[in-house]
Amino acid sequence: MKKHIAVAIDGPSGAGKSTVARHAAQELSFIYVDTGALYRSVGWYVCRAGADPGQASQVEPLLAGLDIRFGYVDGEQHVYVNGEDVGDAIRTPEMSMAASAVSALPAVRAFLLDCQRQIAAENSVIMDGRDIGTVVLPDAALKIYLTASVECRAQRRLLELQQKGIRTTYAQVEQDMRQRDYNDTHRAVAPLRRAQDAVLLDTSALDLQQSIDAVKQLIMKVMEE
């Protein structure tokens, strides 16, 4: 068996990447790394500083004062921005849009690259994001492109937001989802796309357990090689 194994899971928002990756990581004793949380943390920090997350000239000067770290408490990932646990503050629809905006900035992507590679160098990881298989971990032992129809993804995201007590509508969630899909696939740097060697997994017709099982099977196959 290999010492450290890296599994890259990429795909559009709401495909279930984080839920599936978190469960699979727990069951297989991998560290789960949610890289979207890093972009959300940058977006959160920028908004709190009163800057526009879409403006490189406003965001770049703030990066020097920004320290983002991962921590694990009972196997759950926590993100600390200058020592402060950002918790659910980064999970609001506003922070989704702010994350999408800052993620298009080359300086932000470069800023977060080392942090992501470092954790994969030191642990067996399941890392999810948009460019993990294409940019962050191009040599990952396994790459999965996890997707689902936009309607399915919007419906799942709506439920998630409602469970958190965030009031919104299906139409709004679907519109945001389409906007983020567009942003994520059309940005100039590290756009979302399926790596050539990524396994395509469409979860539109799968429930959560079936999706987790499908991912686990792919990982176990690689671990045996």
| Contact positions vs ligand DC (CB under 6 A) | 13, 35-36, 39-40, 96, 99-100, 103, 129-132, 180, 184
DSSP 19: H
Residue 188 and residue 63: Cα distance in Å, rounded?
Answer: 20
Distance from C-alpha of 157 to C-alpha of 101, rounded to nearest angstrom: 19
Shortest distance, CB of residue 175 to ligand DC, whole angstroms? Answer: 14
Nearest 10 degrees: Cα torsion 102, 104, 108, 112: 100
Closer CB to ligand DC, 124 or 133, in the complex: 133
Polymer length in residues for the chain = 225
* 86-88-92 Cα angle (round to 5): 115
Shortest approach of ligand DC to residue 224 CB, angstroms? 28
Which CB, 30 or 187, lies closer to ligand DC?
187
CA distances 156 to 11, 145, 183, 184, 188, Å, are: 15, 18, 20, 19, 28
CB of 167 to ligand DC, least distance (A): 19
Measured from the CB atom, the residue of 196 and 224 that comes closer to ligand DC is 196
User: Closest Cα to residue 119, out of 31, 37, 22?
Assistant: 31
* Nearest-approach distance from CB 161 to ligand DC, in angstroms: 12
Closer CB to ligand DC, residue 129 or residue 142? Answer: 129
We find the least distance from the C-beta atom of residue 100 to ligand DC, in angstroms, to be: 3
Q: Name the DSSP class of 50.
A: T
Considering the complex, state which of residue 121 and residue 220 has its C-beta at the smaller distance from ligand DC.
121
Cβ proximity to ligand DC, 71 vs 221, nearer residue: 71
- Give least dist CB 179 to ligand DC, A: 9
Residue nearer to ligand DC on the CB measure, 22 or 180: 180
Q: Please name which of 216, 37, 41, 42 lies closest in space to residue 126, comparing C-alpha atoms.
A: 216
Cα distances (Å, whole numbers) of residue 69 to 46, 66, 84, 118? 16, 10, 10, 11
Q: How far is the CB of 1 from ligand DC (least distance, A)?
A: 27
Q: Angle, to 10 degrees, between the axis of helix 93-102 and the axis of helix 170-186?
A: 10
